[in-house]
Amino acid sequence: MAHAQRLFPPRAYAISLEELKDLCKEDKETVNPSNLLQLYTQIVLDITYFEENQLADEDFPEDSSLQRVKELISILSEPEVLVKESNPIGVLGTELLECLSWRRGALLYMYCHTVKERGCWLTENTDLFKKCLNDGIHYLLKMLRFRYPPRLNDVSFQDTDTARLLGEGIFSDTHVLAMMYVGEMCYWGLKHCGEEKPGTYEIDSESNTELYCSLHRAVLDFREVGEKMLMKYVAVCEGLLKGQNWNTANAKLILDYFKKFQS
pLDDT in tens, the chain (263 residues): 333 333 344 444 444 556 656 656 655 555 678 888 998 899 899 989 989 999 999 999 999 999 999 999 999 999 999 998 888 999 999 999 999 999 999 999 999 999 999 999 999 999 999 999 999 999 999 999 988 666 656 455 566 777 777 777 788 899 999 999 999 999 999 999 875 444 433 333 333 344 444 333 344 689 999 999 999 999 999 998 998 999 999 999 999 999 987 75
- Domain total of the chain: 1
How far apart CA 166 and CA 56 sit, in angstroms, is: 32
pLDDT at 153: 60
CB 58 within 8 A of CB 38: no
pLDDT at 263: 56
Write down the pTM of the prediction: 0.80
Question: What are the Cα distances from residue 113, in Å, to 60, 110, 181, 185?
Answer: 10, 5, 10, 8
How far apart CA 193 and CA 200 sit, in angstroms, is: 16
Range of the domain at 43: 2-259
- DSSP letter (8 states) at residue 204: B
How far apart CA 28 and CA 136 sit, in angstroms, is: 38
CB 185 within 8 A of CB 136: yes
Q: Is 209 in a helix, a strand, or coil?
A: strand
pLDDT at 6: 36
The closest of 185, 221, 230 to 203, measured between CA atoms, is: 221
